[in-house]
Every structure is written in structure tokens, then in C-alpha cells.
Amino acid sequence: MASTDTKVDILLLGAGGREHALLMKLAESPRAGRIWVAPGNGGMLAMADLADIDQDSPADVAAFARDNGIGLVVIGPEAPLVAGVADAVKAAGIAAFGPCASAARMEGSKLFAKQVMERAGVPTARFRSFTEEAPAADYVRELAGPCVVKADGLAAGKGVIVAKDTDEALAGLAECFSGEFGDAGSTVVVEEMLTGPECSLLALTDGHTLVPLATAQDHKRALEGDRGPNTGGMGVYSPVPIVTDDELATMTSIEEKVVAQLAADGIDYRGCLYGGFMLTPDGPKVLEFNARFGDPETQVILPRMQCDLVDVFLSVDAGTLDPTSITWADDWAVSVVLTSAGYPGHYDRGLRITGVDRASALPGVTVYHAGDALDEDGELVTAGGRVLDVTAVAGTFEEARDRAYEACDLIEFDGKTLRRDIGLRALKGRGAWEA
Ligand code: AMP
Ligand code: GLY
């Protein structure tokens, strides 16, 4: 473990609720020195300095880190990882939290991730990949039923079409091959549809040791009852009460096998590995991997995680991750996302937000800022689709849920929109997924 008496200046990349949660946890560490954020948001800039750089530019980030004596660069989102920001920072002799570009391909290319999973022998949906529409359409017709069409590359969360029948799948293929998702859609993966509850398991790894963090469950659809378009996430809770010990062990072992396979392939994965799983009747199967912390999963995982996050991130970079350096509070966290009316479609910005202080004063409540900004008068205004993540931690799942909604009701802005059913199904038990 690194020495506890040297302060480390930190540069944190990103602008979402995930990054605000990372910032708060990093700032708690006695080792945290000055913290810079790029680009940050209204809540982050109230407690850290702005680094006026392009977060996706490896050269800019490495130069800023070098010029400002930064000792740790923490990379929140996927785009800078895939662009090679961690590679540039490490090449400058500075610690980076987040995998190098070759390892971030686990998220940057769905086909690459599938091939790694095949080699590692871990359970995932059966699939085929295509670079042309006609053979892909033949395969979809052959499947003659529900399937999932995925653009290979990063498509800002939009490149996955869960098709209930052949027509929807063919329309999804046409969308991918039309260039709608740019280069991301030039290769397409078509896979079998899996059913069951979904569960995320985030893990930290230094390339050989893997430490699973708590399970979490996101709510991706915009409307109550899991209807409407997909979003970046409308609410989340942790841990997931319906997951059995066997399922947790299987998910952990799948992630260990994947990291070992990457190592065998010459790829050193250091950072957060986010596994998205479907808990099928045949056991957990992988839906996807992300190369970063989840958003909004981070907002319910970090508040329960007991550790010095600066030390932990430095140990991940150094290859000295110690599983005993992380322990968990015996409680529950629920986070509800407040969005702008119209999200994920068009929405207004610049609307005054009130009540955040009152909400944050409730016991166990933290309001993470996501799509907001400070206007010229220093007032908090909306600036994005997902505006605030209202998280409550409490001794029981019900209490955490009630407290989160109590806090949501204290915050106001024109067009404030939220799902009232976050965690409701989990409260009813596993049978609620079979209904
Ligand atoms: P991905 O980005 O690959 O996780 O896909 C986004 C969402 O699409 C997932 O969270 C699932 O809800 C859904 N999905 C992806 N793959 C499948 C699959 N094979 N079967 C059913 N749903 C899926
Ligand atoms: N919660 C979904 C994601 O971070 O991709």
C-alpha cells in the first residue's frame, strides 16, 4: 500500500453523476491534494478546479497532467479510454485509473468482447457478426423470432436494438448499415435474445487480482413499467436482493476468466471491469462489458464502499490491488434520476433548480449532479437530460427507497421528470420478473 502521508493531485475526466460520485469519494481521502476536473458539471465545479482541456485528447490530457504535477488521472467515461488517454498518461510516467485502449476494446468493440468471451469459454448469448446487410438479414430470417442487433462500436448507448420479431430486427440492421451510427455500425453483431432480470457487477482489477464490487441494477427505459425508449439510466439500487450467492460467484468467476484470457492474449486490463449480466434460468450470461464505472451504478456503489479511493486507484495502476483494502457498509442504496421533460428526446436547458440543499440535509441522502451548470449569477440550472441523481443510503431497502423519493420531492425545476417505480420489482421478489 502506498504511503499515507504524501498528497496526490488528481485530474478527473468526465461530467456526469458518476464523476460527481467519484469526486466526492476521492475528496474524502486524506491523500487527495488539489483536484481538477475536465469538463465537470455544476456540482463538481463547486468543489474542484476546472482543467480547460479536451478530455478525449490523449496529448492534451497527458500535457496538462505533466505541467500541473498531477499524480493520478481518473478517467470516467468510455470515449477517452477508447481514444488512448490512459496510454498517454501512463507513457508520461503518471498513474492513470482506467484501462489502456487495447483493453478498453472490451467496450469499444462488441465483436472483440464476444471473441474474448468465446476464447475464455464464458456464457453469453449465441451470436454471429456481419459487415454486410444481406447476409445479416438472411441470418435474422433464419432465427425467425426475437433477437438483438448491435452496432459493433461505441454509439452513445444507441446502437443496440432489442427486436421482438424479424421485422424489427431487419429495421435495426437497416439502421446500423445506413451509417446512422457512423463507423460504429459498419460491423454488426446479431445475437440470441436472453430473458431474465438484469444485474451489473462492477469489479476492480489490476490485471491479475480481481475484486468484485457490489451488484447493482439499473432501469434503462424512460417510462414506468420498463416501457418507452432506452435512456442512460433512470434509477438504480445496490445491492440487488434477488441475486443468489451462486449467481454472484458465477458472475465473479466469469470476470476473472475474462481478465485472465486478456492477460493470456497479452492485454493487461487495469481499471474497472463492468459486467452486464442477464440472470437466465441457465445461470448468469454476459450481455456486455464496459471498461469503466457505470452511470448511475457508481452513485449507489461508492457511497457503500469503505476504502481510501485514492490508494485503491493507485494500487490498480501499480498492479498491487489488495482485496482487503475494500469493505462494505451493511446497508442499501437507492438512486432516482431526475430528468428534464422530453429526455431522451428534445428538452429545454437553463431552468433554475431549487431544493438541493434541503434534499441533501435528509439523513443518508446525497444529491449527485449530472446535467446541470452554474449560470452567470452562480445559480444552479439544468444543462442536460439527466439532471440530478438523488441517492439515499439506509439500513433497509424500503427505507432507502422511501428516503430517496422524499428527497426527490424537495427538489424543483420546470419539467422535472422521474420514474416512481425504481426498485419496485426487486421489492416484490424474483417472481416479479416471471409475471
Ligand atoms: P448492451 O449495451 O449490449 O448491454 O445492451 C443494452 C441493453 O440491451 C441491455 O442492458 C439489455 O437490456 C439489452 N440486451 C442486450 N443484449 C441482449 C440480449 N442478448 N438479450 C436480451 N436483451 C439484451
Ligand atoms: N448504466 C449503464 C452504463 O453505465 O452503461
Question: Domain holding 286: CATH number?
Answer: 3.30.470.20
Q: Which of 132-136, 263-267, 308-312 has the lowest mean pLDDT?
A: 132-136
Handedness of CA 64, 66, 67, 69 (dihedral sign): positive
> In whole angstroms, what is the distance from residue 401 CA to residue 391 CA?
9
Task: Kindly report the CATH number assigned to the domain that includes residue 180.
Answer: 3.30.1490
Residue 143 has a pLDDT of 87
Listed residue (161, 155, 272) closest to 216, CA to CA = 272
**284 within a domain of the structure (yes/no):** yes
Q: Which of 142, 160, 186 is the last residue of a domain?
A: 186
* Band (1; pLDDT cuts 50, 70, 90): very low
> In whole angstroms, what is the distance from residue 100 CA to residue 370 CA?
26
Percent share of the chain, pLDDT over 90: 81
* Structure-model confidence comparison of residues 239 and 161, the more confident one: 239
Based on the fold, state whether residues 140 and 83 are members of the same structural domain: no
Based on the fold, state whether residues 177 and 208 are members of the same structural domain: no
Please state the atom number of ligand 1 nearest to the C-alpha of residue 110: 3
**193 within a domain of the structure (yes/no):** no
| Residue 231 Cα to ligand 2 middle (Å) | 9
Based on the fold, state whether residues 285 and 373 are members of the same structural domain: yes
* Band (428; pLDDT cuts 50, 70, 90): confident
Q: Which of 55, 83, 100 is the last residue of a domain?
A: 100
| Residue 206 Cα to ligand 1 middle (Å) | 27
| Residue 278 Cα to ligand 1 middle (Å) | 8
Name residue 307's amino acid.
Answer: C
Based on the fold, state whether residues 209 and 182 are members of the same structural domain: no
Based on the fold, state whether residues 226 and 272 are members of the same structural domain: yes
Give the three cell numbers for residue 367.
Answer: 444529491
**169 within a domain of the structure (yes/no):** yes
| Residue 229 Cα to ligand 2 middle (Å) | 15
Provide the mean pLDDT of the chain. 94
DSSP per-residue codes, 2-62: --SSS-EEEEEEE-SHHHHHHHHHHHHSTTEEEEEEEE--HHHHTTSEE--S-TT-HHHHH
Q: Please give the average per-residue pLDDT across 98-121, as a whole number.
A: 96
In angstroms, what CA-CA distances link 386 with 26, 67, 202, 345?
A: 23, 34, 22, 11
Based on the fold, state whether residues 308 and 357 are members of the same structural domain: yes
Based on the fold, state whether residues 231 and 312 are members of the same structural domain: yes
Based on the fold, state whether residues 179 and 158 are members of the same structural domain: yes
**56 within a domain of the structure (yes/no):** yes
What DSSP state is assigned to residue 323?
A: G
Based on the fold, state whether residues 164 and 56 are members of the same structural domain: no
**119 within a domain of the structure (yes/no):** no
Contact 237, 426 (CB under 8 A): yes
**Domain, as residue range, for 388:** 198-433
Give the three cell numbers for residue 229.
Answer: 425508449
Q: Whose CA is nearest to atom 3 of ligand 2?
A: 294
Based on the fold, state whether residues 249 and 181 are members of the same structural domain: no
Largest distance between two CA atoms of the chain: 63
| Residue 235 Cα to ligand 1 middle (Å) | 17
pLDDT per position as a tens digit, 196-250:
999 999 999 999 999 999 999 999 999 999 999 889 899 999 999 999 999 999 9
Location of C-alpha cell 452562480:
378
Based on the fold, state whether residues 208 and 76 are members of the same structural domain: no
Total count of domains within the chain: 3
**152 within a domain of the structure (yes/no):** yes
What are the strands, taking DSSP E only, across 24-163?
32-39, 49-50, 72-75, 95-97, 127-130, 147-151, 160-163
pLDDT per position as a tens digit, 287-310:
999 999 999 999 999 999 999 999
* Band (429; pLDDT cuts 50, 70, 90): confident
Q: Whose CA is nearest to atom 16 of ligand 1?
A: 287
Q: For ligand 1, which residues put their CB under 6 angstroms from it?
A: 125, 148, 150, 160, 162, 191, 193-194, 198, 220, 276, 287-288
157: pLDDT strictly greater than 70: no
Q: Which of 186, 213, 231 is the last residue of a domain?
A: 186
395: pLDDT strictly greater than 50: yes
Q: Which of 51-60, 341-350, 373-382 has the lowest mean pLDDT?
A: 373-382
Beta bridge partners of 289: 275
189: pLDDT strictly greater than 60: yes
Q: Which of 78, 128, 160, 168 to mutate to test the pocket of ligand 1 (most atoms within 8 A of CB)?
A: 160
Residue 160 has a pLDDT of 86
Residue 184 has a pLDDT of 65
> In whole angstroms, what is the distance from residue 203 CA to residue 214 CA?
8
